[in-house]
Amino acid sequence: QVQLVESGGGLVQPGGSLRLSCEASRSIFSARTMGWYRQAPGKQRELVAAITNGGSINYPDSVRGRFTISRDVAKNTVYLQMNSLKPEDTAVYYCRAEVNTHLYWGQGTQVTVSS
């Protein structure tokens, strides 16, 4: 079992920045993939950023160049730095870990981009 706890969400103006954190209850060194997803009201959950245990990183076009995923294995934490935020980035952001073919999700953190 892996528990994931997200933090760092909040209200920010368009053009602003936020950094989300996802702390795991145990080492993420063995996680095949760590990722951030988001879900806006009335929409499906979508990938925002993912990093593999080999360090490969994937972003969709909607956030590439604005969002950066990183991890600190010693702290069992994955981060999502979000810059140049837009109103369409408003959503609940979830952390996901893929460990030994099992998927674990955090409870989510709300990000609202509004003036």
Res 90: pLDDT:
98
Res 35: pLDDT:
95
Tens-level pLDDT at each residue, the chain (115 residues):
889 999 999 999 999 999 999 999 888 777 889 999 999 999 999 999 999 988 899 999 999 999 999 999 889 999 999 999 999 999 999 999 998 889 999 999 999 999 9
Res 30: pLDDT:
74
Res 91: pLDDT:
98
DSSP secondary structure string for all residues of the chain? ---EEEE--EEE-TT--EEEEEEESS--TT-SEEEEEEE-TTS--EEEEEEETT--EE--TTTTTTEEEEEEGGGTEEEEEE-S--GGG-EEEEEEEEETTEEEE---EEEEE--
